[in-house]
Amino acid sequence: MVGLIRGVSEGLGPVGGAAAIYSLSGLLLIFTVGFPRIRQIPKGYLLAGSLLFVSYEICLALSLGYAATRHQAIEVGMVNYLWPSLTILFAILFNGQKTNWLIVPGLLLALVGVCWVLGGENGLHYDEIINNITTSPLSYFLAFIGAFIWAAYCTVTNKYARGFNGITVFVLLTGACLWIYYFLTPQPEMVFSTPVMIKLISAAFTLGFAYAA
C-alpha cells in the first residue's frame, strides 16, 4: 500500500493523488459496505471518529507523498507502524484493558525497531537517524503524529461505536477534505499516465476492500 500511494503521488501530487485514492475508495465502499443512516450512528462516535479518521488518513497519505525518495517513503511508513503498540497502550490507559509486565518490553522493542529503520543501513546510530529525519521532517512528523491519531481512533471506535460502522462516511469525508485543500492551495499539476492510473485503481481497490473487510 505504501508503494501504491507513493506511486500515485509521483504522478498526481501528494494532495491530488491522495484525494483521488480516497474518493475512488469511498465510491467502492458505497457499493460494498453501503452508506449508513447518519442519524442512527452515535454522535460521539460520528464526530470523534470522523475527526480522527480524516486526520490520520491525511497524515499518512501526505507523509508518504512528501517523502524525498521512495526509500524514505518506506521508512516513513514504518514509523507509522507504531500505531499497533500505541493502540494497545491506549486500550490499557483508557478502556481498562487488562495486561501484565510484558507490555513494557514489548513497547520498548517496537520503539527500538522504528529507530533501527530510521537509522537506515547503519542501524541504531543517533547521527544517522537525525540526518534522515532532517532531510524531510514534515514526512516523519506526519507519520509519527498519525500513529497516535490512529491509536486514538481505534480506542474511540471500540468504546463508542456500539456496532455501527461509519467507514464509508469517513473515507468520503477524507477525500472531500483533500480536494478542498487541493483547490485552495498551490499544487503541482496532475500528470495522468497508464502506470499512474493502474496504481491509482489498485490503491483505491486495496484501501476500499481493506476497510470493507
- What is the pLDDT at residue 117? 62
What is the model's pTM?
A: 0.81
Contacts of residue 124, Cβ cutoff 8 Å, sequence gap at least 6: 112, 115, 116
pLDDT digits (tens, 9 = 90+) for 129-171: 677 778 788 888 888 899 899 888 888 887 777 878 888 899 9
Determine the Cα–Cα distance for residues 10 and 135; give it in Å rounded to an integer.
Answer: 18
Query: For 67-107, what is each residue's pLDDT tens digit?
Result: 877 777 777 777 777 877 788 877 777 766 677 777 777 77
Confidence at residue 122, expressed as pLDDT on a 0 to 100 scale: 57
The pLDDT tens digits of the residues spanning 15-59 come to 888 899 999 999 999 988 888 888 888 888 888 889 999 999 888
Give the tens place of pLDDT for each residue, 119-128: 555 555 666 6
User: Quick one: cell of 9?
Assistant: 503521488
| CB neighbour class for 161 (10 Å; exposed up to 12, middle 13-18, buried from 19) | middle
